[in-house]
A and B are shown apart, each in its own frame.
Chain A
Amino acid sequence: DVKVTQSSRYLVKRTGEKVFLECVQDMDHENMFWYRQDPGLGLRLIYFSYDVKMKEKGDIPEGYSVSREKKERFSLILESASTNQTSMYLCASSFSDSQYFGPGTRLTVT
């Protein structure tokens, strides 16, 4: 079974803090993704990576950056958290087109 894990299920941060969200997959998948999910807006792609040290912007990259130093780990960084970044953050990995999601991190920025 594919296993994608995320570092935290719930996180509360203050405005202006730097926030790190970690994602690890154990299936040697090439591709990894970060999404945010908000009511009524669905899943929106923030960044994705198709190889170590490679990254590409998704649909809503503003205010975020990513890091992929090892194949199994993909990190999402909020450089200076803002209240409009309060959301559910979902990591996914894929080998072919089938994406498998981690459990999600519900981030609240106060």
Chain B
Amino acid sequence: QKEVEQNSGPLSVPEGAIASLNCTYSDRGSQSFFWYRQYSGKSPELIMFIYSNGDKEDGRFTAQLNKASQYVSLLIRDSQPSDSATYLCAAGTGTASKLTFGTGTRLQVTL
């Protein structure tokens, strides 16, 4: 059974701080990794993807991948109240674009 694990949270961080969201995956054949943001009552929105070990930065977001440890993380710098949402981690094996999703981490950014 392929699994993607996330701490459900809530993860609470003050405005302006760095939020660190973590994810582990069980399938060593996973080749692509995605972070989705989902606001309450809305559908998931793709915010980052990463394929190679190391860091990938996009604005305030940095995705980190460590395939040896089967670990993916998302850092959000200068967290804003509008970042409060559930963040879903997903892993793909490249087979027909199927993804395995984690159950998500709820992030709360407090004023």
- Closest CB in chain B relative to A16 CB, distance in Å: 28
Q: Are B99 and A97 in contact (CB under 8 A)?
A: yes
Can you list 15 A-B pairs, Cβ within 8 angstroms, ordered by A? Answer: A31-B97, A33-B98, A40-B103, A42-B88, A42-B101, A42-B104, A50-B96, A50-B97, A56-B96, A97-B49, A97-B92, A98-B49, A101-B44, A101-B45, A103-B42
Q: Are A42 and B99 in contact (CB under 8 A)?
A: no
Q: How many residues of A contact B (CB 8 A)?
A: 22
Q: Are A101 and B32 in contact (CB under 8 A)?
A: no
Question: What chain B residues lie within 8 Å of A43 (beta carbons)?
Answer: 44, 88, 101
Question: What chain A residues lie within 8 Å of B98 (beta carbons)?
Answer: 33, 45, 48
Contact residues, A43-63 vs B (CB, 8 A): 43, 45, 48, 50, 56
> Which A residues form the contact surface with B (CB < 8 A)?
31, 33, 40-43, 45, 48, 50, 56, 90, 94-104
Smallest CB-CB separation from B51: which chain A residue? Answer: A97
Known: A31-B96, A97-B92. A41 touches B103 (CB 8 A): yes
Q: Are A98 and B46 in contact (CB under 8 A)?
A: yes
- Interface residue? B94 (CB, 8 A): yes
Known: A43-B88, A45-B98, A97-B34. A90 touches B43 (CB 8 A): yes
